[in-house]
């Protein structure tokens, strides 16, 4: 053995082992199912930014609506307000029953009428419009307490009940005076349900003096007064809100744009169709969000030739836009 080889062997033994030839590194086998690169997700917008965008979203809905759309939205928690044509007069249709109900309850709060007072409904008092009462009692001659008639005109939008309550409070002029006393502008109540039917028969549109009028902002102001107990005592406020929450009309309007976790106390209105034009497709209510915050939403669609589904879908889209603004 050469000296140099012997020296290397000794060095290897001194290091504690035998010298091994170096092994080549093997490349890892390719994965049979490559893991896809995750797509970037959008950063959720802050509520403040969504609130800034709400007016533009409502404007876009209004521009594409099959008719003239007026919207008013009031956040009771932030005390903020957004509107599209909020100060423009629209035909109220049966939304005016909100003002009739508030008038009746305010008179009851002042002990000027009794909610338990019995009212006789005769055959002459039955109305031609929406009236489950008239359908159930085609000959009339039924006596009901005032509170039950108020509830019927809110829950079922009953026209017979509405005119009976209107007569009990003193007529449309008293309702208009109630709005004035509350300091609420944007209401013009001068007609009964019988008058509205006569208007339709005469083909008298809102532009020519038919229907009661109101602005979306004015209706928001009344709903705000109700929600904050500025309009009524606690008991009558609760009675009114319970009736509005039990409304059987308008399932495809504001309600359709809200999830089941949001509560809605509202009043709808639909005018008679005159020469193929529906003067009013309305909904106005108090939306209670899942976290308890309340937002008032009023949406009025006027002068539309579209079918029921298309008109009501516009109001649903308004509610959806508002809800998505507050709940990411």
Give the CATH number for residue 212: 3.40.710.10
Considering the domain boundaries, does residue 82 fall inside one? yes
Total of domains in the chain: 1
Q: Tell me the pairing of strands 273-274 and 277-288.
A: antiparallel
Instruction: Write out pLDDT tens, residues 206-215.
Output: 999 999 999 9
Whether pLDDT at 316 is above 60: yes
pLDDT of residue 51: 85
Q: Residue 268, CB half-sphere, CA atoms under 13 Å: how many?
A: 24
Tokens standing for 233?
Answer: 């005592």
Model-level pTM? Answer: 0.85
Tokens standing for 204?
Answer: 């008298």
Considering the domain boundaries, does residue 6 fall inside one? no
Q: From residue 136, give the alpha-carbon distance in Å to each of 89, 131, 166.
A: 35, 9, 21
Q: How much is the average pLDDT of 1-7?
A: 45
Considering the domain boundaries, does residue 143 fall inside one? yes
Q: How much is the average pLDDT of 274-286?
A: 97
pLDDT of residue 50: 85
Whether pLDDT at 134 is above 60: yes
**Phi first, then psi: what are they for 105, rounded to 5°?**
-70, -35
**Phi first, then psi: what are they for 48, rounded to 5°?**
-60, -40
Considering the domain boundaries, does residue 41 fall inside one? no
Q: Which domain holds residue 322?
A: 47-326
Whether pLDDT at 14 is above 60: no
Cβ(193)–Cβ(127) under 8 Å?
yes
Cβ(297)–Cβ(318) under 8 Å?
yes
CA separation for the pair 121, 141 (Å, rounded): 5
Considering the domain boundaries, does residue 253 fall inside one? yes
Instruction: Write out pLDDT tens, residues 217-251.
Output: 999 999 999 999 999 999 999 999 999 999 999 99
Q: What is the mean pLDDT of the chain?
A: 90
Whether pLDDT at 41 is above 50: no
Considering the domain boundaries, does residue 68 fall inside one? yes
Q: What's the 3-state SS for the chain?
A: CCHHHHHHHHHHHHCCCCCCCCCCCCCCCCCCCCCCCCCCCCCCCCHHHHHHHHHHHHHHHHHCCCCEEEEEEEECCCCEEEEECCCCCEECHHHHHHHHHHHHHHHHHCCCCCCCCEEEECHHHCCCCCCHHHHHCCCCCEEEEHHHHHHHHHHCCCHHHHHHHHHHHCCHHHHHHHHHHCCCCCEECCCCHHHHHHHHHCCCCHHHCCCCEECHHHHHHHHHHHHCCCCCCHHHHHHHHHHHHCCCCCCCCHHHHCCCCCEEEEEEEECCEECCEEEEEEEEEEEECCCCCEEEEEEEEEEECCCHHHHHHHHHHHHHHHHHHHCC
Q: How much is the average pLDDT of 162-175?
A: 98
pLDDT of residue 64: 97
Considering the domain boundaries, does residue 242 fall inside one? yes
pLDDT band at 137 (very low <50, low <70, confident <90, very high): very high
pLDDT of residue 227: 98
For residues 6 and 265, the model is more confident at: 265
Q: Which among 182, 120, 116, 108 has a CA at the least distance from the CA of 147?
A: 116
Q: Which residues pair with 198 in a beta bridge?
A: none
- What proportion of the chain, given as a percentage, has pLDDT over 70? 86
Cβ(155)–Cβ(246) under 8 Å?
yes
Considering the domain boundaries, does residue 13 fall inside one? no
Cβ(100)–Cβ(153) under 8 Å?
yes
Tokens standing for 326?
Answer: 């507050």
pLDDT of residue 132: 95
Q: Which of 1-10, 35-44, 289-298 has the lowest mean pLDDT?
A: 1-10
Whether pLDDT at 257 is above 90: yes
- What proportion of the chain, given as a percentage, has pLDDT over 90? 83
Instruction: Write out pLDDT tens, residues 61-75.
Output: 999 999 999 999 999
Whether pLDDT at 9 is above 60: no
CA separation for the pair 57, 235 (Å, rounded): 38
pLDDT of residue 131: 95
């Amino acid at each position: 053995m050469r000296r140099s080889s012997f020296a290397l062997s000794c060095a290897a033994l001194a290091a504690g082992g035998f010298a091994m030839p170096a092994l080549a590194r093997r490349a890892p086998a390719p994965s049979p199912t490559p893991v896809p690169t995750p797509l970037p997700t959008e950063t959720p917008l802050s509520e403040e930014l969504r609130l800034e965008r709400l007016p533009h979203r409502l404007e876009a809905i209004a521009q594409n609506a099959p008719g003239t759309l007026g919207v008013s939205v009031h956040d009771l928690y932030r005390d903020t307000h957004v509107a599209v044509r909020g100060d423009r007069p629209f035909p109220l249709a049966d939304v005016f029953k909100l003002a009739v109900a508030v008038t009746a309850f305010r008179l009851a709060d002042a002990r000027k009428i009794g909610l338990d007072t019995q009212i006789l409904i005769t055959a002459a008092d039955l109305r031609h419009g929406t009236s489950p009462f008239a359908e159930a009692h085609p000959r009339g001659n039924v006596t009901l307490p005032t509170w039950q008639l108020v509830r019927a005109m809110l829950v079922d939008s009953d026209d017979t009940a509405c005119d009976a309550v209107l007569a009990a409070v003193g007529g449309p002029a008293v309702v208009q005076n109630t709005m004035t006393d509350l300091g609420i502008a944007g209401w013009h109540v001068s007609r009964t349900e019988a008058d509205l039917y006569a208007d339709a028969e005469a083909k008298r549109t809102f532009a020519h003096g038919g229907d009661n009028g109101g602005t979306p902002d004015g209706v928001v102001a009344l709903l705000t007064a109700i929600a904050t107990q500025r309009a009524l005592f606690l008991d009558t406020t609760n009675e009114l809100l319970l009736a509005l929450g039990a409304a059987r009309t308008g399932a495809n309007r504001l309600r359709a744009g809200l999830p089941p976790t949001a509560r809605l106390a509202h009043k709808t209105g639909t005018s008679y169709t005159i020469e193929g034009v529906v003067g009013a497709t309305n909904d106005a209510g108090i939306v209670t969000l899942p976290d308890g915050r309340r937002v008032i939403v009023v949406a009025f669609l006027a002068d539309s030739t579209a079918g029921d589904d298309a008109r009501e879908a516009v109001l649903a889209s308004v509610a959806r836009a508002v809800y998505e603004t507050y709940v990411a």
